[in-house]
Amino acid sequence: MTDTNRATSTSTSVDQWTSVQAYTLAVICLLVGVAAGWFIRGSQSPAVAPGETASTSAPSAGNESAGGQTPASAPTPAQMQKMADTQAGPLIEKLKADPANAGLLQNIGNIYYDAQLFPTAIDYYQRALKAEPANTGVRTDMATAYWYTGDADTAIAEFQKSLSYEPTKANTLFNLGIVEWQGKMDIDKATAAWQKLLDTNPNYEAKDKVLELMAQAKKHSGVKPGTPAKPLQ
């Protein structure tokens, strides 16, 4: 990642993991990356294509050529909770001595976001934003987490607030377009967000994906805004 928002203080806990924990979490993040679909993390470099995360380079648990591993089943919600709690534990301990540390709060939020524990992630993101309200990476991630809880309206409001601080934030515009389309079926607002992204970020490396999404969304032109989206055939 090149953005400072997603960066580094999480590494303070990495060296405390066992190799088994690190591998398991890599698999979890791989599965989450697949499930996350189009969205881009608010603090993720645009160089990473939509639908990918940095964790997608992790080895697949089902690759038998890598040391004879047999396919692993997807972790249960309880397992994901346990692994996230284990990873976040050292950071939460540090937070006790510095409860308003925005970096710690953000990184804890990121851990729970990656484990798909979105309400918990939102709580930590909210606390981070009290200390750093203009952190558009955190706000974009929080907005996306709201979308995953089924709250499109709050997601859009938080994307818009992020844009009030950084009007040309590419990842915010990208995700806003998806929620306007998939959450509200407002094709005009979705394509306006994506067009602004392209106009203000001429070197955006996921340009082809944006154009693809615009073309797909326009197939829903004429559908009344507010109608839930249906998968394209």
pLDDT over 70 at 160, yes or no? yes
CA–CA gap between residue 45 and residue 27 (Å, rounded): 21
Among 43-57, 160-174, 207-221, which stretch is predicted with the lowest mean pLDDT? 43-57
Model confidence at 226, pLDDT cuts 50, 70, 90, reads low
Sequence-distant (6+) residues with CB within 8 A of 81 are 115, 117
Structure tokens at 7: 């960066």
At the topology level of CATH, where does 4-218 sit? 1.25.40
Task: Give residue 116's pLDDT.
Answer: 93
Task: Give residue 38's pLDDT.
Answer: 66
Asked if 12 and 94 touch (Cβ cutoff 8 Å), the reply is: yes
Name the residue ranges covered by the structural domains of the chain: 4-218
Residue 110 to residues 44, 82, 223, Cα–Cα distance (Å): 12, 15, 35
Asked if 136 and 31 touch (Cβ cutoff 8 Å), the reply is: no
pLDDT over 80 at 36, yes or no? no
Q: What is the pLDDT of residues 103-116, one digit of tens each?
A: 999 999 999 999 99
Task: Give residue 34's pLDDT.
Answer: 31
State whether the Cα torsion 12-80-150-100 is positive or negative.
Answer: negative
